[in-house]
Amino acid sequence: MALRYKVNVLTSLKDAGYTTYRLRVENILWETVITQLRNGEMVSWENLDTICKCLDCQPGDLIEHITEI
């Protein structure tokens, strides 16, 4: 299954007022999750749920399926 982010999630979080510092200090997301996002890697559904709550969006607003040939 090939999924990728449609948007830069960390930039979107920052625009919504969630800096990486705030994400870590307030235990919203762990450092490993922030690193995964920075590297464009998929995060767990639980973390995706947290991100969607912060951004008030749906998972489909953040990720898309890519058909591999």
pLDDT at residue 67, rounded to an integer:
85
Domain ranges across the chain: 3-65
Give bridge partners of residue 40 from the DSSP assignment: none
Residue 24 has pLDDT above 70, yes or no: yes
pLDDT at residue 8, rounded to an integer:
97
- CATH code at 3-65: 1.10.260
Residue-wise burial string across 38-60, b where 16 or more C-beta atoms lie within 10 A, e elsewhere? eeeeebeeebbebbeebbeeeee
**Per-chain mean pLDDT for the chain:** 95
